[in-house]
Amino acid sequence: MSLKVRETELPGIGKKILFKLKNGDEITIVARNIGVKDLYIIESGKDEPSFFISLDEEEAKEIGIALIGAEYKASIQPEKLDFIAKELAMEWVKVGEKSTFCGKTIGEMQIRKKTGATIVGIMRGDEFIPGPGPEEKILAGDLLLVIGKMRNIKSFLDYCGEYSTRW
């Protein structure tokens, strides 16, 4: 069993994102319209959360940076993080059957070197592969979560060949 993600709109409140972990535990994030993120952890076989915390936008951003494995530098000021975030683009790209990526690994295609963009996740059917390594093969129908500057994303799309950003 792999990580499963389900997203639900909560009208008037925000969005609920549920992560079902391999061990059966669940992590639920309620991203409220006011910027607050509520985090619940429900252990496998239990009905009630064993852990709850409410984070403001800055706290959620800092924890998110750490969770994606970005190198944390205490010298970066929050104002600079806001600037970096504005420069950053993210796109879901569905790989077409005739894409130049099909059947090749991320490393083989030298995606980051050739485009400046980074694949940070792959949705393959119901399975989410976070932080895929260079040995991960790209298949037709994969949804790739790609980040980089907008020019890097455009370069990535050109390099990919057949794709769709509407899935």
**Rounded CA separation 75/150 (Å):** 25
What stretches of the chain show up as alpha helix (H) in DSSP?
Answer: 57-67, 78-87, 106-109, 111-115, 150-160
User: Tens digit of pLDDT for each residue in 27-82?
Assistant: 999 988 878 899 999 999 898 888 888 888 888 887 877 776 655 454 455 555 45
Question: Is-contact 56 47, C-beta < 8 A?
Answer: no
What stretches of 126-167 show up as alpha helix (H) in DSSP?
Answer: 150-160
User: Tens digit of pLDDT for each residue in 67-121?
Assistant: 766 554 544 555 554 545 556 777 888 899 999 999 999 999 999 999 999 999 9
User: Tens digit of pLDDT for each residue in 145-165?
Assistant: 898 888 888 899 889 887 765
Closest by CA to 26, choosing from 53, 5, 55, 54, is: 5
**Rounded CA separation 139/102 (Å):** 5
The two three-digit tokens of residue 73, written as one number:
């530098």
For a pLDDT cut of 70, what percent of the chain falls above it? 84
- Helix, strand or coil, per DSSP, at residue 83: helix
Question: Is-contact 80 65, C-beta < 8 A?
Answer: no
The two three-digit tokens of residue 15, written as one number:
């969005």
* Backbone phi and psi for residue 153, each to the nearest 5 degrees, phi listed first: -65, -45
For a pLDDT cut of 90, what percent of the chain falls above it? 37
Q: Determine the pLDDT at residue 156.
A: 92
The two three-digit tokens of residue 119, written as one number:
């694949």
Question: Is-contact 90 145, C-beta < 8 A?
Answer: yes
Q: pLDDT band at 138, cuts 50/70/90?
A: very high
More confident residue, 23 or 2: 23
Closest by CA to 37, choosing from 17, 65, 67, is: 17
